[in-house]
Structure 1
Amino acid sequence: MHGDLLIIGAGATGVSVFVNAVRTARHRSIRIVDPRDVGRGIAFGEYHPDLLTNSSCEANSLVPDEPYDFVDYLCDRGLSRAPHDVVERRLLGEYVAHRFEEYSVLAAARGVRVERIRARARSIGKRTGGYRVALSDGTEVRASDVVVAAGLEKPRIPELMRAHQDDPTFLASPFPADRLARRVPPGSRVLVLGSRQSAVDAALLLCGDGSRVTMASPSGQLPAVRTATPLLPASVTASQGIASLDSADPRLVRKLTRIMVESVRQCDARPLREQMTGATDPVQRLRAETALAESGACAWQDVAVGVSAELAAWIPTLPPPARAKVLKAFHTVGRRYATALILPNARKLLGHIDRGALRLARDYPVRVRRRGPVWSVEWPDGDVSTVDRVVSACGYEPPVLWHDTTDDSIHLEHAPRHALPVDRLGADLRIRTSAQAPPENIWVVGAATHVRVLFFATLLYIAAHQAKDVALQLGASTARDLQELAELSH
Structure 2
Amino acid sequence: MSGVAGSAQGVATTIAIIGGGFSGALTAVGLLRGARASTLRVVLIDNGPGFGRGLAYRTAHPELLLNVPAGNMSAFPDRPGDFVEYLERLDARLNAGSFVPRTVYGDYLEHTLAQAERMCPDVLTRYRGQAVALHLEQEPRRYRIEFEDGQILHAQRVVLATGHFAPDVPQCFSSDVAHRILQPWDFDAIDALNPAAPVAVMGMGHTGIDTLLRLVRLSSERKVFMFSRRGLVPHTHRPNPRLPVKVGYPERFASLPPTIRAYAKSLRDCVAQRVARGEDWRDALNELRPHTSTLWRSLPPAERARFLRTLLPYWDIHRHRLAPVIGQRLQYLLKAGHVERIAGAVRNAHEEDGMLHVALGTRPFGAIRPLTVSAVINCTGPNYDLAKVCSPLLSQLFHARQIRRDTLRLGLDVDDRYRVIDANGHPADNLFYVGPMLRAMYWEAIAVPELRQHAAALADQLVQDLASAVRSGI
Q: Normalising by structure 2, what TM-score? A: 0.82
1:102 maps to 115
Q: 2:381 aligns with which of 376, 395, 401?
A: 395
Mark the CA change 1:255 to 1:442 in structure 2 (over 3 Å): closer, same or farther: same
Residue correspondence of structure 1 range 255-404 to structure 2 within 5 A: 255-257=262-264, 259-261=266-268, 269-271=274-276, 299-325=280-306, 330-380=311-361, 381-398=367-384, 400=386
The aligned runs of 1:465-480 (5 Å cut-off) are 465-477=453-465
The alpha-carbon distance between structure 1 residues 236 and 196, as it changes in their structure 2 partners (threshold 3 A), is same
Q: 1:271 to 1:135 in 2, by over 3 A?
A: farther
Show the counterpart of 1:287: none
Computed over aligned residues only, the root mean square deviation of the Cα atoms, in angstroms, reads 3.0
Offset of residue 397 of structure 1: 0.8
- Give the match's secondary structure for 2:224: strand
State the secondary structure of the residue aligned to 2:421.
Answer: coil
Is 1:206 the counterpart of 2:215 in the alignment?
yes
Do structure 1's residue 421 and structure 2's residue 428 form an aligned pair?
no
| Alignment of 1:10 onto 2:20 | yes
Is 2:145 the counterpart of 1:137? no
Distance across 1 between alignment mates of 2:168 and 2:208: 12
How far 1:205 moved relative to its partner?
1.9
Instruction: State the alpha-carbon separation in 1 of the partners of residues 156 and 466 from structure 2.
Output: 16
Distance 1:438 1:373, change over 3 A: closer
Corresponding residue SS for 2:146: strand
Report the residue type matching 1:389 in the other structure. A
1:130 and 1:66 mapped to 2: Cα distance? 35
TM-fit CA distance, 1:264 = 5.0
On the 8 A contact 1:8/1:14 being kept in 2, the answer is yes
Superposition pairs of residues 109-124 of structure 1, within 5 angstroms: 112-124=122-134
CA contact (8 A) 2:131 2:146 kept: yes
The one-letter code matched in structure 2 to 1:24 is: G
Mapped to 1, the partners of 2:132 and 2:355 lie a distance apart of: 39
Q: Which residue of 2 aligns with 1:235?
A: 247
User: For each residue in 1:449-485, what CA deviation from the matched residue of structure 2 results, as whole angstroms up to 9, or x when unmatched?
Assistant: 132123x22112111100111011111139999xxxx
SS at match of 1:41: coil
> CA–CA distance in 2 between the matches of 1:478 and 1:29?
11
Structure 1: gaps (5+ residues):
275-296, 403-409, 482-490
Change over 3 Å in CA distance of 1:335–1:57 after alignment to 2? same
Counterpart residue number, 2:410 = none
Q: 1:73 aligns with which of 86, 91, 98?
A: 86
Which structure 2 segments of 5+ residues have no match? 1-9, 362-366, 407-412, 470-474
Structure 2 counterpart of 1:175, from 181, 185, 188:
185
The match for 1:22 among 19, 32, 47 is 32
Residues 235, 327 of structure 2: 8 Å contact kept = no
**Cα distance change, pair 399–67 in 1 and its aligned pair in 2 (3 A):** farther
Alpha-carbon spacing, 1:462–1:165, altered in 2? closer, same or farther (3 Å): farther
Looking at structure 2, the residues matched to 422 and 188 of structure 1 have their Cα atoms a distance apart, in angstroms, of: 40
Letter in 1 for 2:75: L
CA contact (8 A) 2:184 2:378 kept: yes
1:433 and 2:422 aligned: yes
TM-score scaled to structure 1, two decimals? 0.80
CA distance in 1, matches of 2:283, 2:105: 22
Per-residue deviation, 1:12: 1.4
Cα distance in structure 1, aligned partners of 2:124 and 2:397: 29
CA contact (8 A) 2:386 2:398 kept: no
Percent identity among equivalent residues?
22
Aligned counterparts of 1:325 and 1:378: Cα–Cα separation in 2: 29
- 1:461 corresponds in structure 2 to 449
